[in-house]
Amino acid sequence: MSLRDRKRARTRQALIDAATELFERKGYDETTIADIAAAAEIGARTFFSYFGSKEELLFPEADYRVQAAIDAIATRGPDEGPADVLLRALGEVNATSAEMVSPLAALRLRMIQTVPAVRGRALQLQLDAQREIARHLAQAFPDQLDAVGAGALVGAFVGAVSGALQALFDGAGADPEALRTAMHTATEVALAPWRTSTAKRRTPKP
């Protein structure tokens, strides 16, 4: 990364950290963009060079996770089925980022339940992500999945990750590595029927 890119990355992270602290302390509705910008030591106008709204701050890696899934599909191995590819993408995301098991993730889950604007943003991002990933998955595995099957598989995958995180954060106290392991295990269990089904389809008949 260039010096300019590193500075932008630090400012972006400063905004995320400031928003997380302010949302926890003051509440979402009571925190303004000006408050967040001031805490990150930038001007309010500069805020919009990084995020379009307060809601976006709570989902800083949404695009990254979608791209990780698309990249995993594009680099699939000959022995990987659709569910295997999605699980590999999850593992790669967890290996390179702790965002999904961070304090921000726990805060995000709570606010999805209590703040309509955040809930709406989460739903839109989830629907867009599922549609995009399912489209790539159906194109990559035309002999195993049609559009409906791909949509169902991606929905099961996203639901498994979301449900596992919700249960894990409700329990609280686990360290990030334990959260990663538990989330991946829960998702593998949820997708086991899909892996078995697609494996049977790939097995050549005698």
Write down the pTM of the prediction.
0.86
Q: Which amino acid is at 107?
A: L
* DSSP state, residue 173: -
* DSSP state, residue 78: T
Lowest-confidence segment of 10-19, 107-116, 136-145, 177-186 by average pLDDT: 177-186
What architecture (CATH level 2) is domain 3-52?
Orthogonal Bundle (1.10)
Domain extents for the chain?
Answer: 3-52, 58-202
Q: What is the pLDDT of residues 33-63, one digit of tens each?
A: 999 999 999 999 999 999 999 999 999 999 9
CA 191 to chain centre: 17
Q: Quickly name the fold that domain 58-202 has.
A: Tetracycline Repressor; domain 2 (1.10.357)
Structure tokens at 82: 């659709």
Cβ 46 vs Cβ 157: under 8 Å: no
How many Cα neighbours within 13 Å face the side chain of 206? 0
Residue 73: per-residue pLDDT: 97
Does residue 131 register a pLDDT over 90? yes
